[in-house]
Amino acid sequence: MIVVATSADELAGMCERLEGLGAGLLDVVEPSDARRVILAAVDDERNAANLVASLQAEGVMAVMRPDGGAALQAWFRNTRPVVFGKRLSVCAAWSEHDRSGLVGLVELGPGGFGSGHHPTTRQMIEALVKRVSGGERVLDVGCGSGILGLCALKLGAASVVAVDVKPDAVEAALRNARINAMDDQLEATLAGLGEFDGLFDVVVANIARAGIVELARELVAHVSPGGWLAVAGISPSQCSQVVDFLHPLVEVERATAGEWSSLVLANSEPQITTPDQEPSPECARGDLNPHILSDTGT
Ligand SMILES: C[S@@+](CC[C@H](N)C(=O)[O-])C[C@H]1O[C@@H](n2cnc3c(N)ncnc32)[C@H](O)[C@@H]1O
């Protein structure tokens, strides 16, 4: 079986398209006012996989879904919306779970790591929920699906620069920005942190200990005075060493869930607030080189 997420407006066209491609329509679920989820049968698994791949290549939010048994139960568990307090929730776009009453909903299509279910992603989102108050410029390092940047925007941040080493992650982040109508606020790039200037109020990096240590200097250099950096993907025993690498930022919070820890570190340099010294909009968005963006093919 395949599942295709679409909008109420595009439902009829998408159903027609799927039937034209040989899929048999089984059901249409309405998990929210705007979202429609089409369940369709395809004669064998290989054809289903090929169809999903070709639909995804066009940007359609299509995935394979188990037909029944334990695999389907796991599917339902893994596609449950994740709720973060009273301000934010995250859900796969193709989830059949009702989400009509959820506040601050971010929906995610296929591609890129980060659905909101992994403990490291959750720790980072919890830091954002606690600390984002509105208007922040955010740098999302190792953006995967773009989940952290999109959550920051949903919480009121002004703009996000998302970077990843994987082209499919950059594409997924851009696609997810579009489906959440945030594409005017998020730019995504394969550029390395050393390739652009700019200070950010918030820097998030869920890239494991080795990645944090490797990028420590650049991560620190991009945090504005008064800003903060959150890192995750480290074990509790690695925390103190990671803090040392991120000097002169100062640890202000440590969270541990089982084998995973996350840290929040602040740049305690005083903030300069005179109008003359406010960063320009270009600086605020990271001053990205446009030709680097076009390298992503998106
Ligand atoms: C664990 S995932 C995190 C995804 C998402 N930010 C989240 O919190 O769920 C790590 C991501 O970092 C990317 N990554 C790893 N090393 C990196 C580096 N040095 N620079 C940029 N991205 C990196 C990987 O490609 C992957 O998409």
Q: Provide the pLDDT confidence category of residue 286 given band limits of 50, 70 and 90.
A: very low
Quick: pLDDT tens for 156-192: 999 999 999 999 999 999 999 999 999 999 999 999 9
Question: Which of 84, 108, 113 gets mutated to test ligand 1 (max ligand atoms within 8 A of its CB)?
Answer: 113
- pLDDT at res. 272: 63
- pLDDT at res. 171: 95
For the chain, report the end-to-end CA distance as a whole number of angstroms. 29
* Beta bridge partner(s), residue 262: 232, 255
Q: Is the CB of 102 under 6 A from ligand 1?
A: no
Q: Is the distance from CB of 41 to CB of 23 less than 8 angstroms? A: yes
How far is the centre of ligand 1, averaged over its atoms, from the C-alpha of 120 (Å)?
11
* Beta bridge partner(s), residue 29: 37
- Other beta carbons less than 10 A from residue 98's beta carbon: 12
CATH numbers and ranges of domains, the chain: 2-78 (3.30.70), 119-294 (3.40.50.150)
Asked if the model's pLDDT at residue 294 lies above 50, the reply is no
Quick: pLDDT tens for 70-105: 999 999 999 999 999 999 999 999 999 999 999 999
- pLDDT at res. 292: 28
Question: Which of 164, 189, 296 gets mutated to test ligand 1 (max ligand atoms within 8 A of its CB)?
Answer: 164
Q: Is the CB of 146 under 6 A from ligand 1?
A: no
How far is the centre of ligand 1, averaged over its atoms, from the C-alpha of 83 (Å)?
22
How far is the centre of ligand 1, averaged over its atoms, from the C-alpha of 214 (Å)?
13
Asked if the model's pLDDT at residue 284 lies above 50, the reply is no
pTM: 0.90
